[in-house]
């Protein structure tokens, strides 16, 4: 396949993954709205990150999802609250314009840890922010910060 063909295929894959992620995020938001009305449970938050980007967090009775968007790179992680299954999409635009994509379905908590390890802690390698996300009240929080070349990245626990 030619370089242009590879680029076109990667772009199409990234668009398809983004559409799937945002449609699913919208579905989860609708579930949260109905859960809040019925029981007062559920969370739907959008957090603006210092240095650009935003983190969307949606938590229903059964499922939680994170959508992290920074410049032209993003990731979407969805998992069942009981840890039985989940989905991870990663799209990163490299400085030379190429796209790196990953689409992973997993079925157990152990697989999640293996995926994160093999992805080199995707939050650290895929999205390096100049400042770290901090929240005392949010259910996710940094568990490890690392500084390199004046940049700071956080690995967060899900």
Query: pLDDT tens digit string along 127-143?
Result: 333 233 333 434 443 33
Q: Is residue 139 part of a domain?
A: no
Residues contacting residue 50 through CB under 8 Å, at least 6 positions apart: 129, 130, 131
> Helices (H), strands (E): how many in the chain?
3, 8
In a domain, residue 65? The reply is: yes
Residue 137 lies in a domain: no
Closest CA to 135 of 53, 29, 46: 46
Residue 52 lies in domain: 3-124
Q: Specify if 152 maps to a domain.
A: no
b/e 100-130 (16+ beta carbons within 10 angstroms → b): eebebebeeeeebeebbeebebbbbebbbbe
Tens of pLDDT, residue by residue over 2-43, are 566 777 899 999 999 999 999 999 999 999 998 877 777 889
Q: Which pTM does this prediction carry?
A: 0.67
Residue 82 resides in a domain: yes
Q: Is residue 102 part of a domain?
A: yes
With residue 16 as reference, give the H or E element that holds it.
helix 3-39
Eight-state DSSP code of residue 121: S
In a domain, 107, yes or no: yes
pLDDT tens, position by position, 59-117: 999 999 999 999 889 999 999 988 888 899 999 999 998 899 999 887 665 555 555 44
For residues 63, 66, 67, 71, the Cα torsion angle rounded to the nearest 10 degrees is: -170
In a domain, 138, yes or no: no
Tally of structural domains, the chain: 1
């Amino acid at each position: 396949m030619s370089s242009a063909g590879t680029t076109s295929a990667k772009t199409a894959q990234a668009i398809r993954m983004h559409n799937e992620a945002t449609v699913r995020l919208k579905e989860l938001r609708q579930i949260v709205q109905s859960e809040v009305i019925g029981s007062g449970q559920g969370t739907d938050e959008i957090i603006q990150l210092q240095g650009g980007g935003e983190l969307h967090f949606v938590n229903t009775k059964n499922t939680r999802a994170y959508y992290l968007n920074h410049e032209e790179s993003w990731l979407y992680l969805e998992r069942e609250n009981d840890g039985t299954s989940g989905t991870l999409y990663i799209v990163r635009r490299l400085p030379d314009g190429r796209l790196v994509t990953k689409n992973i379905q997993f079925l157990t908590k152990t697989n999640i840890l293996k995926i994160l390890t093999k992805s080199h802690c995707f939050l650290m390698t895929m999205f390096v922010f100049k400042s770290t996300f901090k929240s005392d009240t949010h259910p996710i929080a940094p568990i490890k910060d690392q500084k390199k070349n004046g940049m700071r990245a956080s690995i967060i626990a899900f």
